[in-house]
């Protein structure tokens, strides 16, 4: 199955008031046992694994593959269809300091400077607001599911495209005067013609 890319953590202030430094991640141990859990439940079997884990400026990311079990595939489906987005990290703090208000000295939370990644969990609501599935990646599963629907409607789409092209041709002819309706129609129809042809070839 297609892996899903997640932003696991960023160095933004999270809902607990803590900050996890993106350049402080220690990933060696996790890469040897790259588990994806459900809601930080260490008693349940893993629902997936990280095929790749890496850092970028200000964030930690991973490509996650889901296990071929019923529950794991159910969770994967929630992500792929947009019903769930969040993830969360379980880690062991190695170095940290307190965050305090500059004016009042009030305790705000912790700033983790170095931390060992232990596990990643699929969760409905993450502590870090930005720990989400990346929304800019193409969803091949969704496209694959949509293709048969498009194929079944190809003749109707072709008819509709022709009607739209006729309307465009009439409008252009009435405004430009000298242009032939057939030329305007063909030009208007060209952008969709290739799509219709591709759908028909897939159906055949």
pTM: 0.67
Q: What is the pLDDT of residue 135?
A: 79
Q: Which long-range contacts (CB under 8 A, 24 or more apart) does 30-37 make?
A: 30/116, 30/117, 30/118, 30/119, 34/62, 35/119, 35/120, 36/64, 36/66, 36/119, 36/120, 36/121, 36/122, 37/90, 37/119, 37/120, 37/121, 37/122
* Virtual torsion, Cα 6, 59, 15, 82, nearest 10 deg: -20
Per-residue pLDDT of the chain (204 residues; tens, 9 = 90+): 689 999 999 999 999 999 999 999 999 999 999 999 999 999 999 999 999 999 999 999 999 999 999 999 999 999 999 999 999 999 999 999 999 999 999 999 999 999 999 999 999 999 999 999 997 655 455 555 556 666 667 677 777 777 777 776 676 666 665 555 566 556 655 666 666 666 666 555
* Predicted pLDDT at 151: 65
Q: What is the pLDDT of residue 33?
A: 99
Give pLDDT, residue 157: 72
The structure tokens listed for 37 are 């859990």
């Amino acid at each position: 199955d297609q892996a899903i890319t997640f932003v696991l953590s960023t160095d933004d202030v999270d809902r607990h008031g803590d900050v996890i430094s993106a350049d402080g991640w220690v990933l060696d141990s996790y890469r040897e046992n790259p588990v994806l859990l459900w809601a930080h439940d260490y008693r349940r079997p893993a629902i997936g694994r990280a095929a790749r884990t890496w850092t970028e400026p200000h964030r930690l990311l991973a490509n996650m593959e889901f296990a071929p079990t019923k529950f794991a595939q159910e969770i994967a489906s929630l992500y792929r269809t947009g019903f769930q987005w969040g993830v969360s990290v379980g880690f062991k703090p190695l170095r940290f300091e307190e965050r305090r208000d500059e004016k009042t000295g009030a305790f705000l939370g912790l700033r983790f400077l170095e931390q060992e990644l232990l596990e990643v969990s699929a969760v409905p609501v993450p502590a870090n607001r930005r720990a989400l599935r990346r929304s800019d990646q193409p969803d091949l599963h969704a496209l694959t599911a949509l293709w048969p629907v498009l194929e079944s409607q190809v003749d109707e789409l072709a008819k509709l495209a022709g009607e739209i092209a006729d309307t465009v041709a009439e409008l252009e002819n009435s405004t430009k005067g000298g242009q032939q309706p057939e030329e305007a129609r063909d030009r208007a129809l060209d952008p969709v013609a290739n799509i219709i042809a591709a759908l028909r070839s897939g159906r055949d």
